[in-house]
Amino acid sequence: MARPERRTVRDVRRGNRGMLLRTLYFDGPASRHELTGLTGLSAATISTMTGDLLAEDIIVEAGQVDSDGGRPRVLLRVNPAYGHVIGVDVAETHVRVELFDLEMTEKARVDYSLRPSHHDIELVTRRILAGIDVVLADGQVPADRVLGVGIGVPGIVERGPDTLIHAKTFGWDGVPLGALMRAGTSLPVFIDNGAKTMGQAELWFGGGRGAAHAVIVLIGSGVGATVVADGVVMRGASNSAGEWGHTKIALEGRQCRCGGRGCLEAYIGAEGILDRAGVPTRTSDWQAALGRVLETRPDVIEETVAYLGMGLSSLINLLNPERILIGGWAGLMIGRDLLPGIRAAARVNSLTQPFNATSIILGELGPDAVALGAATLVLEEFLNTSAPLRLHAAS
């Protein structure tokens, strides 16, 4: 039972303005006249609202289109230089900070490598803050033109005033990354799980565009998923929804690093595949190792496809998505050649109706999209609220 908030007339404006801006962002450039059709708003409203947005420099004119016999249409578009967004990818081996304009064109990037098992939270925070300064300098963007910073981290992100992070592999147990960031910068900070920010990137700019019900599946050494229902990333009661990798596919099955047994991840995660193939998991280059398994061990691969089909069918039956994207470095490697087999394996295990409603395709964005997705969190906020800039960066 949803309990929506009280609304006032001003919320109407906020909502409609956000819709106009999103329409212009995704379907633009467009003329005022076209916008009436796209948004459902009257010409009068479009006129006043575009007037405001032009005055605020949030949108700009983008040329004219001659019409045969009639006043030419003036095209409008979101001003890509109105503001910039920063995305951060905090991973096992590196901290990456990227600067984008509003069209998500990368303007600058910096990488800091992390020594394994050297994930001190203060160190990571310092790297992020330093990275922000570096990309702003490189991109020649003043801090007061930045709409915010999005950060993708491993583990579970507990929302709250301090934004606590729980990441076993990093030894982070309730680390207040949000509070630490906000102490170091006045920019608005958004933090989410890295797998979810990757999903967000696929949803907005990759293979998930336009899908209202989708699941973005991530297969790397671990296995996760981003569930999108009614166009919104599903978060659950404590923001940990999407843990698909620990779905059980066998009673008393293979040991998983989560401590449980029979987890999907223990079968189709890169580590699980290598282990099933008898390859020592202490390999230096996992990608190469997985490549060799793909070429030389059809038995293991066939089994992998079968398990993956089982896992996907659970998603299809339970969630009835219109699209499933397979991503993550291992997912892309496996999927490149074996997608037809994966589809067949999913079909065998799925109910006809929901299977037919689903298309199973590869992700488009590669494994580097964590920072892009994190930056998208900022963009999303901007497009929804179109909050006038500069207020936050005051202090």
Partner DNA sequence: CGTGCTTAGTTCAATACGTGAACCTATACT
Partner DNA sequence: AGTATAGGTTCACGTATTGAACTAAGCACG
Q: Cβ distance 88 to 131 under 8 Å?
A: yes
Which residues in the 54-73 window bind DNA by CB under 7 A? 64, 66-73
| Shortest spacing between CB 189 and DNA, in angstroms | 28
Which of its own copies, DNA, none lies near 126, with the C-beta cut-off 5 to 8 A by kind? none
Q: How far is CA 61 from the centre of its chain?
A: 30
Query: Which among 197, 154, 204, 159 has a CA at the least distance from the CA of 178?
Result: 159
The interface mask with DNA, positions 16-45, x = CB under 7 A, is: xx-------------xxxx-----xxxxxx
Query: Which among 218, 195, 231 has a CA at the least distance from the CA of 383?
Result: 231
The interface mask with its own copies, positions 284-323, x = CB under 8 A, is: ----------------------xx--x--xx--xxxxxx-
Taking CB under 8 A as the rule, does residue 353 contact its own copies? yes
| Shortest spacing between CB 127 and its own copies, in angstroms | 26
Taking CB under 8 A as the rule, does residue 34 contact its own copies? no
Taking CB under 7 A as the rule, does residue 281 contact DNA? no
Which residues in the 63-122 window bind its own copies by CB under 8 A? none
- Closer residue to DNA in complex, CB, 35/147: 35
Query: Which among 327, 286, 374, 326 has a CA at the least distance from the CA of 95?
Result: 374
| Shortest spacing between CB 280 and its own copies, in angstroms | 25
Which of its own copies, DNA, none lies near 55, with the C-beta cut-off 5 to 8 A by kind? none
Query: Which among 108, 64, 67, 69 has a CA at the least distance from the CA of 85?
Result: 108
Taking CB under 8 A as the rule, does residue 9 contact its own copies? yes
| Shortest spacing between CB 199 and its own copies, in angstroms | 12
Task: Measure the CA–CA gap between 156 and 201, rounded to whole angstroms.
Answer: 19
Q: How many residues bind its own copies (CB under 8 A)?
A: 72
HSE on the CB side for 284, CA within 13 Å?
0
Q: Cβ distance 388 to 103 under 8 Å?
A: no
Which of DNA, its own copies, none lies near 72, with the C-beta cut-off 5 to 8 A by kind? DNA
Residue 223's contacts (CB-CB under 8 Å, 6 or more residues apart) are 217, 244, 245, 264, 265, 268, 269, 328
Q: How far is CA 98 from the centre of its chain?
A: 15
Judged by CB under 8 A, the stretch of 125-133, 176-184, 241-249, 360-368 that binds its own copies is 241-249
Q: How many residues bind DNA (CB under 7 A)?
A: 35
Which of its own copies, DNA, none lies near 292, with the C-beta cut-off 5 to 8 A by kind? none
Taking CB under 8 A as the rule, does residue 186 contact its own copies? no
Task: Measure the CA–CA gap between 85 and 132, rounded to whole angstroms.
Answer: 10
| Shortest spacing between CB 1 and DNA, in angstroms | 20
Residue 60: enclosing H or E segment and its boundaries? strand 59-65
Among 251, 285, 388, 395, binds its own copies (CB under 8 A): 251
Taking CB under 8 A as the rule, does residue 350 contact its own copies? yes
| Shortest spacing between CB 210 and DNA, in angstroms | 24
Residue 147's contacts (CB-CB under 8 Å, 6 or more residues apart) are 83, 84, 85, 188, 378, 379, 381, 382, 389
How far is the CA of 304 from the CAs of 56, 226, 273, 336, in angstroms?
Answer: 54, 21, 7, 14
Judged by CB under 8 A, the stretch of 112-120, 136-144, 185-193, 210-218 that binds its own copies is 210-218
Taking CB under 8 A as the rule, does residue 238 contact its own copies? yes
H-type alpha helices, the chain? 9-27, 32-39, 43-55, 121-139, 177-184, 194-205, 265-268, 270-276, 286-296, 298-319, 329-349, 352-356, 370-385
> Assign residue 223 a region: left if phi > 0, alpha if psi is -120 to 50, beta otherwise?
beta
Which of DNA, its own copies, none lies near 47, with the C-beta cut-off 5 to 8 A by kind? DNA
Instruction: For tokens 């289109």, name the residue.
Output: 65
Taking CB under 8 A as the rule, does residue 229 contact its own copies? yes
Summarize as ranges the residues that interact with DNA (CB under 7 A). Answer: 6-10, 12-13, 16-17, 31-34, 40-51, 64, 66-74
